[in-house]
A = this chain, B = another copy of it.
């Protein structure tokens, strides 16, 4: 019983810090996207291309979680000055306190995007709220079409699922239909976007999704401000 209590208290403490991160991000009008997936599904490559496409148009910052190297952050520095590496040591996921410390190191990109690249792991990151506004889960085709059923908790909480490396589908014998069927059981509201990032396939669809989330957040924040100014209670989610 002791173990359970400690786990619960860790999650409770995390939730408090996550809520504070959420307020902080909302006050700057930032869409904060927590990217989660197995190792090697293409999170960093997606971010490289995303930063390249958003450069000069929408302000962005990136927090990158990794056990001990700075390899992903080094790759992303080529595309943005606003990249912070969070090394978790042996920690298998990011937590809200690490993200809070990461946010301290950057100027929040007002009205733009904060991308949080989680540690490559399909289990533990799902349990830790970071205070993000959106959760995006990547599934690369070489991992196999059974992964939604095998790691349902991760997919349940996703706001969008990205099927990556779709250019390999024909070589692999991957069944898209299986993913769609399993996803219908665990999460019927998250859209499935298909990408082959290195071949620039699907990037426009992904950027359109990002901009939709940003527009929706701006609308929500405007409504809250206007409700507050007219004396109504502010809407909190």
Contact = CB atoms under 8 A, between A and B. Distances in A.
Interface of A: 2-3, 6, 10, 38-40, 66-69, 71, 90-92, 119-124, 127, 140, 142-144, 146-147, 149-153, 165, 168, 171
Copies in the complex: 2
A147 B151 CA distance: 21
B67 A123 contact: yes
Given A69-B149, A71-B146, A142-B165, A122 B3 contact: no
Given A39-B122, A40-B144, A67-B150, 20 more contacts: A3-B6, A3-B10, A39-B143, A40-B143, A40-B147, A67-B151, A67-B152, A67-B153, A68-B150, A71-B149, A71-B150, A90-B153, A92-B121, A119-B123, A121-B121, A121-B123, A121-B124, A123-B124, A124-B124, A142-B165
A66 B123 CA distance: 11
A121 B40 CA distance: 12
10 contacts: A3-B6, A38-B39, A38-B40, A38-B143, A39-B122, A71-B146, A90-B153, A92-B123, A142-B143, A142-B168
Contacts of A38: 38-40, 120, 143
Contacts of A150: 39, 66-69, 71, 120
A146 B74 CA distance: 13
A121 B119 contact: no
Contacts of A123: 67, 90-92, 119, 121, 124
Given A2-B6, A124-B124, A171-B171, A39 B90 contact: no
A150 B120 CA distance: 10
A120 B39 CA distance: 10
A41 to B, nearest CB: 8
